[in-house]
Structure 1
Amino acid sequence: MVVKKLLIISLLALFSAAPPAKVILFYGDSLTAGNGLSVEEAFPAIIQKKLTEKGKSVKVINAGLSGETSAGGISRLDWVLRQPVDVFVLELGANDGLRGLPLDQTQKNLQAIIDKVKTKNPAVKIVVAGMMVPPNMGPDYTTKFQKIFPALAKKNNAALIPFLLQDVAGNEKLNNPDGIHPNVEGHKIVANTVLKVLEPLL
């Protein structure tokens, strides 16, 4: 009788246990890291809070590194992928564009990152964050740069955030004094932009 009761209790615990949290990894540069802000104020942390409030079981990891390029992203990827990842949000390339690096190399590097992530976990869901560069880079470079991200998303059957800084870029009230990095209010808007694409994947 005691054994039977223990078995019933064990089964109830098994079926009532919360599902394992989905791991969402944001892999990017200073925009993801939250340049000039605390980690709690950056958009990945805001997303964690919003999803938790909606009852979603998620674990958000901010793997943003200020100054990171697409090439740098490849070099530290193995270390970041030591733990399983369910959703991988790729936010790199902006620093390549600001430095005027060859576009074909940027696209090749970003594809290499996606390939590594998929090799590690074929079931992972990829989200590509679209970026733009200032017009002073020249119309040809600017246009081709912007096309990199939708092309990557299409090739890899990934979700696309058309422009990460939608409604934030160029707005003095939503950016730090440098005019490039979103401030606290800017990150709140970025979080909502990302959630529109991210939430359906969960």
Structure 2
Amino acid sequence: MGFFKYGARGSGCKAAIVGVFVTAVPVSAAEVSILALGDSLTQGYGLLEQDGFVPQLRNWLADHGHDVRVVNGGVSGDTTAGGFARVEWSLTPDIDAMIVTLGGNDVLRGIAPQEARSNIEGILKVAQAQNLEVLLIGMEAPGNFGADYKQAFDGLYPELAQTYGTVFLDSFFKGLDRQGQSLAELSAFMQDDGIHPNPEGVVKIVETVGPKVEELLYRLD
């Protein structure tokens, strides 16, 4: 899933459930644990483990002075419904906060925006019940489903973020902003499927997500 080729490449997302990855860093009393709940973008589809989103984010945070354990709760092919179905058992007692990055596969399948909204709201309600801070990362629908679909889908993220008081980033791909760049230049940061970022693309994505995670961490102080 991504902003390049929604729809046509949807079958490239494998529905295999991946094991939860925990960064190999000793847990200390001061360490914060964050669950990254998502799909293949979070899981690191098509990448060596160290090149994936979660390891790169953990390293970025460490480089910026934060002792953070990031749990990879990404399941390749997952939808917002899948995330909602597993969020409660994924939030083990040691988790202090959560990153939610879901919705790309809903778009690939043409799932109604109101259904995606209901599922993400369910996830946020679970976090709220457990007094957990959340970083909600949005997804953008393409135009091929029509303007109304795109407006409803894109709009659900900022609306829910405001309602539930989460930290918010409007797009997972914000770091690959198209402004002033050609399609060829952007393609240099994507895998051949045009859906998932390559290692260099993940670097740029993490550079944008990282400060938002810092904002999340400041709320825990």
1:183 equivalent to 2:191? Answer no
Unaligned runs of 5+ in 2: 1-27, 178-182
List structure 1 segments (4+ residues) > 4 angstroms apart after TM superposition: none
Q: How does 1:1-202 map to 2 (within 5 A)?
A: 19-119=29-129, 121-122=130-131, 124-168=132-176, 171-202=186-217
In the alignment, the residues of structure 2 paired with residue 105 and residue 160 of structure 1 have an alpha-carbon distance, to the nearest angstrom, of: 20
Q: Tell whether the 8 Å contact from 1:131 to 1:164 is kept in structure 2 after alignment.
A: yes
Equivalenced residue count is 183
TM-score, normalised on structure 1? 0.85
Shift of 1:38: 2.2
In the alignment, the residues of structure 1 paired with residue 154 and residue 142 of structure 2 have an alpha-carbon distance, to the nearest angstrom, of: 11
> 1:15-50 CA distances to partner (integer Å, 9 max, x unpaired)?
xxx642111111000111111012321122111112
Q: Tell whether the 8 Å contact from 1:29 to 1:68 is kept in structure 2 after alignment.
A: yes
In the alignment, the residues of structure 1 paired with residue 45 and residue 142 of structure 2 have an alpha-carbon distance, to the nearest angstrom, of: 19
Shift of 1:83: 3.1
Higher gyration radius (CA):
1
TM-score, normalised on structure 2? 0.78
Report the RMSD for the aligned CA atoms in angstroms: 1.5
In the alignment, the residues of structure 1 paired with residue 212 and residue 137 of structure 2 have an alpha-carbon distance, to the nearest angstrom, of: 10
Unaligned runs of 5+ in 1: 1-17
More displaced stretch, 53-62 vs 144-153: 53-62
Q: Tell whether the 8 Å contact from 1:25 to 1:62 is kept in structure 2 after alignment.
A: yes
In the alignment, the residues of structure 1 paired with residue 211 and residue 175 of structure 2 have an alpha-carbon distance, to the nearest angstrom, of: 14
Q: Which has the higher contact order (CA 8 A, sep 6+)?
A: 2
In the alignment, the residues of structure 2 paired with residue 25 and residue 78 of structure 1 have an alpha-carbon distance, to the nearest angstrom, of: 11
Structure richer in helix, relative to its length = 1
